[in-house]
Amino acid sequence: MKVVFIGASSLAVATASHLIDADYEVIIIENNKDVIDNLIGKVDCVFIHGNGCKPAILQETDPNSIAVLFCLTKSDEANIIASLVARSLGFKRVITRIEDPEFEHICVELGLNETIVPTLTNARYLANIAAGRHIHELSAMIRGPVRLFSFIADEADAVPIDDLALPKQSRVIYCYRDNQYLPIDHDSTLKQGDEVVLVTTSEDYEKLQNKWGNGKAK
């Protein structure tokens, strides 16, 4: 299985090393030649020197053969642009790293449903440890084909949950309304602008993305 990283950040290199140990084929795209020269011989992967936001550079990786593309540069804007370009080129999965939480809602509106905010995640994790709360690893709870999906509700989605006509194995579990967590019951009604989070399966994920992949119903 092949995985691509845009940006040779410490997070990218650490993740790449784990995947290489698990027999994944890894490609790292990095714009700084000095960084690549420093990593060659330390990380057993293919390096591409260039701007990962450029379609021609991404095309060199053969998008149809790539399982996951991670956009992990130090620039939120570059990661978002690279993610959108990658989506247009047909990459199956695109993971977008952002540091500024204000971009999170924008990413969802753009259909970048697999966005990570490492600083915020780590801060919550450490705060929970300090408070003595029991921490469950997300990876331990989400197994096999189970996936999470989110979208921004538009005017057409402002209906009772039961009227969304979701695939059989998909359920709305909660939403954010005005940045506030809101639990969902079977008789709850969505409002325009709600960020809706569903639990689904790999099989149904594509169906949901076809409907809400760009942040609005198609």
Helix (H), strand (E), coil (C) string for 29-74: EECCHHHHHHHCCCCCCEEEECCCCCHHHHHCCCHHHEEEEEECCC
The string of pLDDT tens digits covering residues 112-149 is 878 888 877 777 777 777 877 666 655 566 667 888 88
- Is the predicted pLDDT of residue 176 greater than 60, yes or no? yes
Residue in the structure block whose two tokens are 């293919």: 46
Percent of the chain with pLDDT over 90: 52
- The angle formed by the CA atoms of residues 141, 211 and 113, to the nearest 5 degrees, is 45
The pLDDT value given to residue 216? 35
The pLDDT value given to residue 30? 97
Query: Phi and psi at residue 159, in whole multiples of 5°?
Result: -140, 170
What does each C-alpha distance from 205 to 142, 171, 209 come to in angstroms? 14, 12, 6
Domain boundaries along the sequence of the chain: 2-123, 138-212
The string of pLDDT tens digits covering residues 25-67 is 999 999 999 999 999 989 999 999 999 999 999 999 999 999 9
Query: Phi and psi at residue 91, in whole multiples of 5°?
Result: -60, 135
Q: What is the mean pLDDT of residues 107-113?
A: 85
| CATH (residue range 2-123) | 3.40.50.720
pLDDT level of residue 213 (50, 70, 90 thresholds)? low
The pLDDT value given to residue 133? 67
Domains 2-123 and 138-212 belong to one CATH topology: no
In this structure, which amino acid lies at residue 34? Answer: D
**How far apart, in Å, do the first and last CA atoms of the chain sit?**
31
Picking from 19, 2, 180, 168, the residue whose alpha carbon sits closest to that of residue 91 is 2
Q: What is the pTM of this model?
A: 0.66
Residue in the structure block whose two tokens are 């020197």: 49
CB atoms within 10 A of CB 153: 22
Level-2 CATH architecture, domain 138-212: 2-Layer Sandwich (3.30)
Query: Phi and psi at residue 204, in whole multiples of 5°?
Result: -85, -20
| Mean pLDDT of the chain, nearest integer | 87
The pLDDT value given to residue 32? 96
CB atoms within 10 A of CB 33: 11
Helix 102-109 with 76-89: angle, nearest 10 deg: 10
Structure tokens at 93: 């999965």
